[in-house]
A and B are shown apart, each in its own frame.
Chain A
Amino acid sequence: MITSETYRSLGLTDKEYQKILSLLKREPTVTELAMFAAEWSEHCGYVSSRNLLKILPKTGKYKTLIGEDSGGIFVDDIAIIFKMESHNHPSQVEPKQGAATGVGGIIRDIFTAGARPIASLNSLRFGSLSEPYNKYLLQGVVDGIQFYGNCLGVPTIGGEIYFDESYNGNCLVNAMSIGIAKKNELAKACAFGEGNSIMYVGASTGRDGIGGCSVLASHEFSEGDAKRPTVQIGDPFMEKCLIEATLEILSTGYVLGIKDMGAAGLTCAVSEMASDGESGIDMELCNIPLREKHMEPWEIMVSESQARMLVCVKAGKEKAIKNIFSKWDLNAVTIGKVIKDKMVRIWDNGKILVEVKADILTKAPIYDMPYKKPEYMKKINNLDIDVVHEPSDYNIVLLNLLKSPSIASKEWVYEQYDHMIQLNTVVLPGSDAAVIRLKGTNKAIAATTDCNSRYCYLNPYRGAQIAVAEAARNLVCSGAEPASVTDCLNFGNPKKPDRYWQFKNCVQGITDACEFFDVSVASGNVSFYNENPAGAVYPTPAIGMIGIIDDINKVCTQYFKNEDDLIILLGISLEELGGSEYLKLVHELVRGDAPELDLKMERAVQLTTLEAIRDGLVNSAHDLSEGGLAVGLAECCMSNKEKLIGAVVDNLNFDIRTDALLFGESQSRIILSCAEKSLNQIKKIAKKHKTSLQVIGSTGGNRFIVSNNDNKLIDLSLEKLQDTWSNALRRDIDSSN
């Protein structure tokens, strides 16, 4: 007998349970109930987000493929598959393994699509580093990412990290992976063709991640059991073998479908492969390789043990598949077959346990969630700029900004990641976007992750648009055409209307911005319930974007290259301080509105930059973001450690407040540097695109000097700047509290 207590503690509502009863026309078995609970959960079923996610654009200037588990675009005959996914909650309790298994999970999504993983990125959020636990989280997460990615041999080429109190108690760990395949080598995640075999491959099954479902256990939990952790130990070595074995079986032509067992493990893999293939699966549990003794069938069905996959194999070819897996010392066993009626039928030693129509399981209910504009916005959206006093020493402000961990160099982080393996990384981390070449072609991929969640907090719609615009801007600065997006939407409890309002507006913002730039959203992931006792984390719709470079010789980086180059500012600086790092750091204010965003102007600035790079006219391109003009210029001077180059910026002549001029975060601005002889041609390009262009100074020397109307505002040595910026994070971590 299933009691209301049981299904409720599995997360099913009364209404949902009634629906199950009416669909089945009988009471579900325990195993069936566990499967429904898993499939209809937020995590697998996207029950409160699916309605909204529908609006994200599925097409763009590059032909887009929306796959079952990941998505991508086509460039000539190459498919570029990519996706970002969250692993926030496991990382909060066990940062190293949580982050490691997060990386492992997303990379499995890529190679089960048939693509060889060629790069990883991430997007991380932590609470303030003044708290020891947040330091521990940062170190642990970075350690987990390096441990897993380095061992797999997939370069981690970029990412972003921000620190803010809103993430105290709930860090965000979003991992992104990119893979490539020949167009015709892609694999599907479905099962079809009556009589074909269903094989289980990879690691054995244990009681990992069955936490929520343990209410189903009929026996009393004994001591160790009850505290069974939901965190797992990552095994990159096993996964590395799995990658090689999987790509090898896919090349045999005997594999019809393959799916990773991720969330909800076998349940999800079986029911979705059957339903996506419009067929049924009949399988026997007793053949499944188990790691622990006395596992109940429902435990096997919902276990989330790592590094396992389900494969649909042409009848008669099982042996060939098995041989490849044995070569890599991995399991491969036949556990069932494809059947014509669209049922999921599961046996345990000949006893029937589950008999459900596949798409009943996979068609989770969809809910329209109530939403309401949050109260806090009224309070914080207006900022009286007149009460913000201008500082007296801009040198100090600049140094403090460069020291702030969200702006400081992330070298301490990316030096721990192998970012060169596979011999493709043409632009290493440390520039606006990383660039990896596509061997055998003249092309390259640029990739970045971006999101300023403070903007999203102040203005979810525009904040999300800015995340897309900034990602595109970063790609353009490397010489790439923005091509497609993956997103990872990190929000609070969706059942709270104010949180859902944030979510809805961010999704709308992403949609509108992507449509404007004509880039598709090829894949993504939603993570709700990111809350701490003080409330939800800032709405954080992390954007991962990839761009295409047609000519690998036309790649650009952000740092100044030569002495005596001209420094050009594209775009317009407004008198706005809302949401800026400066306002937070110096005035301890999180107020105002997110910066203005004029998408047309954004496009004009980007088109100008891209055309100038392609014409070989510019020597460097860097977009302005957190910390504004002063920080952006300083980065141009010092982000190439091997060659620091100073700058004299003496032609600003702006008529806005000095702090806004130096540290305001107006959007749609890019700093270029070029030889004097190229200026006229760049001007012509800017004019054609109706972009505002101003020569603001020139490079050279060993100081960074900024003045306005003959007023010296900043004058610092490069050594001081470089030391402050590049060692800040290391110092924060090493300092004792």
Chain B
Amino acid sequence: MEFLRFGVVVFPGSNCDHDCFYVLNNVLKQDVKYIWHKEIEVRDVDCIVLPGGFSYGDYLRTGAIARFSPIMQGVIDFANKGGLVIGICNGFQILLEAGLLPGAMLRNKNVHFICKHVHIKLLNKNTPFTNLYKKDEVLKIPIAHNEGNYYIDEKGLKTLKENNQIVFQYCANPNGAADNIAGIINKEGNVLGMMPHPERSSEKELGSQDGLFIFKSIVEWVK
């Protein structure tokens, strides 16, 4: 296989869709297509990206309405068959609402939107999304969200830890997230959700390339 085929799902209100497309296509030189939320099936892709943004205005609850978009059944089927899915920011929130990942998101502790570079630590490098990083690597990568205060009950947290499902932790907790969690993976290891934006740290000009290796890891894994 020469190129990986990425599918970037576009919900009304998604706004990092172009950015993800750009990085995958122009920086990483892979095949990318948009998947409109009204489609009911995912076809011909190796990895689905649920991009950041404000799907349906984030009204009611982040990700709550998007979770019922027609495409989500397709995404769930795709994931259940072992397909790779990465949800970034709003994408992560949608994955939580859809039940593909455990837990929920609360408002940031300071009740403000926070946009800035943060440092996150890699906890699990044995995933399709992180295999190219060094063990315990610290990445500089931006966050931009209102609701990144990850919540999970104690039992759930224990399970996450036991199964090595916590993939990223903030070095300094910006939003109140339980156990400094910045990103988690499902038990099966094919669905990743993360609040930081790897697409925003994929080019030198923008201050950091630490995020690019997530996408590169995916390519590496599928090949």
* Residues of A that sit less than 8 Å from B by CB: 146, 150-153, 235-238, 240-241, 328-329, 414-423, 425-426, 428, 437, 439, 552
Contacts and interface: CB of A to CB of B under 8 A. Distances in A.
Contact of B200 (A152, A237, A329, A420): A420
Interface in B55-113: 56-59, 112-113
B210 interface: no
The 6 closest A-B pairs by CB, nearest first: A153-B15, A237-B57, A151-B54, A418-B144, A418-B115, A416-B113
B113 A421 contact: no
Contacts of A420: 115, 142, 144, 197, 200, 206
A416 B58 contact: no
Contacts of B199: 423
B135 interface: no
Contacts of B15: 151-153, 240, 421
Contacts of A418: 113, 115, 144
Nearest to B19: A423
A237 B12 contact: yes
Given A150-B54, A237-B59, A425-B206, A416 B114 contact: yes
Given A150-B144, A418-B144, A423-B23, A240 B113 contact: no
A504 B114 CA distance: 42
A236 B18 CA distance: 18
B22 interface: yes
Nearest to B112: A416
Given A420-B144, A422-B18, A439-B22, A552 B54 contact: no
A151 B22 contact: no
Nearest to B202: A423
Contacts of A237: 12-13, 54, 56-59
B16 A421 contact: yes
B148 interface: no
B188 interface: no
Given A151-B54, A153-B15, A417 B115 contact: yes
Instruction: Provide the main secondary structure of the chain B interface.
Output: mixed
Contact of B53 (A153, A415, A552): A153
A416 B115 contact: yes
A422 B115 CA distance: 14
A709 to B, nearest CB: 42
Nearest to B146: A150
Interface string B115-148: 1100000000000000000000000001010100
A423 B57 contact: no
A128 to B, nearest CB: 23
Contacts of B179: none
A441 to B, nearest CB: 13
B205 interface: yes
A336 to B, nearest CB: 29
Contacts, number: 79
B205 A426 contact: yes
A235 B59 CA distance: 10
A257 to B, nearest CB: 26
A151 B56 CA distance: 10
Contacts of B13: 151, 237, 240-241
B204 to A, nearest CB: 10
Interface in B197-223: 197, 199-200, 203, 205-207
B206 A426 contact: yes
Contacts of B58: 151, 237
Nearest to B203: A423
Nearest to A116: B18
A206 to B, nearest CB: 18
Most buried by B among A241, A418, A422: A418
Contact of A328 (B12, B22, B146, B206): B12
12 contacts: A146-B113, A151-B54, A152-B15, A153-B54, A236-B57, A237-B54, A240-B12, A240-B13, A415-B114, A418-B144, A423-B22, A423-B200
Contacts of A419: 115
Most buried by A among B113, B146, B207: B113
Nearest to A240: B13
B113 A150 contact: yes
Contacts of B56: 237
Interface string B13-35: 10110110011000000000000
B116 A236 contact: no
A418 B114 CA distance: 8
B43 to A, nearest CB: 20
A328 B142 CA distance: 30
Interface in B152-191: none
Contacts of A328: 12
Contacts of A152: 15
B21 to A, nearest CB: 10
Contacts of B115: 150, 414-420
Contacts of B142: 420
B63 to A, nearest CB: 14
A710 B15 CA distance: 57
A416 B57 CA distance: 17
Contacts of A437: 205
Contacts of B54: 150-151, 153, 236-237, 240
Contacts of A415: 112, 114-116
A151 B200 contact: no
Most buried by A among B19, B22, B56: B19
Given A146-B112, A237-B58, A421-B19, 8 more contacts: A150-B54, A151-B54, A236-B54, A240-B57, A328-B12, A415-B115, A415-B116, A419-B115
B16 A153 contact: yes
Nearest to A440: B26
Nearest to A143: B112
B106 to A, nearest CB: 18
A590 B84 CA distance: 64
B206 A552 contact: no
A24 B13 CA distance: 47
Nearest to A156: B115
A420 B116 CA distance: 9
A419 B19 CA distance: 14
A5 B114 CA distance: 52
Contacts of B197: 420
Contacts of B205: 426, 437, 552
Most buried by B among A329, A414, A422, A437: A422
A417 B200 CA distance: 15
Contacts of B18: 422
Contacts of A235: 57
Contacts of A153: 15-16, 53-54
B11 to A, nearest CB: 10
Contacts of A238: 57
B210 to A, nearest CB: 14
A203 to B, nearest CB: 13
A426 B207 CA distance: 8
Nearest to B206: A423
A416 to B, nearest CB: 5
A508 to B, nearest CB: 40
Nearest to A142: B112
Contacts of A439: 22
A329 B113 contact: no
Nearest to B36: A327
A437 B203 CA distance: 12
A152 B14 CA distance: 9
B138 to A, nearest CB: 14
Nearest to B16: A421
B112 to A, nearest CB: 5
A384 to B, nearest CB: 46
B30 to A, nearest CB: 16
B89 to A, nearest CB: 10
Contacts of B200: 420-421, 423
A422 B53 CA distance: 11
A238 B23 CA distance: 27
Given A240-B15, A415-B116, A151 B57 contact: yes
B114 to A, nearest CB: 6
A425 B53 CA distance: 17
